Chain A
Amino acid sequence: DGGITQSPKYLFRKEGQNVTLSCEQNLNHDAMYWYRQDPGQGLRLIYYSQIVNDFQKGDIAEGYSVSREKKESFPLTVTSAQKNPTAFYLCASRPGGAENTEAFFGQGTRLTVV
């Protein structure tokens, strides 16, 4: 089945460790996005990529890094520089070009840093 997959669903890490969240899609979508959601809050954009080998910072990029070496994959690394990394992380993808096309989300990764 086509879709967007995030793994793992739950992730625990010690403070000071880097951690990489996986996001894979087989929808042949050009654009991919990473968001962070805190309890009772909306989604805040971390990074986005509109095409392979290119990505841009979103509104809260500090302490995060991404890569887009393949169309299907857009991994997010939460570095030790991120002051408050515990959150719900959501990855999305959508076709490039056409404007009124929906974004599809993965099921999210809940990261807890202890």
Chain B
Amino acid sequence: RKEVEQDPGPFNVPEGATVAFNCTYSNSASQSFFWYRQDCRKEPKLLMSVYSSGNEDGRFTAQLNRASQYISLLIRDSKLSDSATYLCVVKGGKLIFGQGTELSVKP
């Protein structure tokens, strides 16, 4: 079993749609959780950290469920510019990335 698992997609959605990504992790001792965004052929960049109480940043909402060992990312009112690959990241001793979920937002 992979340490961090994501649905690779692709998710193809129209502009304005709401889309949700899930990610599961296997190490119950994991301490920190993040969502990164990666554009084609570029380095990943932090989208948001994920806190136990859940957190929101504009159109983006992240949730953490420690009991079930999964984190989620909700994107509301999708924009064309949201098209990218979204990477779930879990930190225990190591910093482990999921394989990424590809999102394509169409006009």
Chain A interface (Cβ < 8 Å from any Cβ of B): 31, 33, 35, 40-45, 48, 56, 58, 88, 90, 92, 94, 99-100, 102-103, 105-108
Contact = CB atoms under 8 A, between A and B. Distances in A.
A33 B44 contact: no
Given A105-B43, A105-B45, A35 B97 contact: yes
B43 A42 contact: no
A99 B96 contact: no
Question: Chain A binding site: helix, strand, loop or mixed by DSSP?
Answer: strand
Interface string B46-78: 100101000000000000000000000000000
Interface residues of B, number: 24
B31 to A, nearest CB: 5
Given A41-B99, A42-B100, A48-B94, A102 B46 contact: yes
A42 B31 contact: no
Contact of B31 (A40, A58, A88, A99): A99
22 contacts: A31-B95, A35-B97, A41-B99, A42-B6, A42-B87, A42-B100, A43-B44, A43-B87, A44-B97, A45-B94, A45-B95, A45-B96, A45-B97, A48-B94, A56-B93, A58-B94, A90-B44, A92-B95, A99-B91, A103-B95, A106-B43, A107-B42
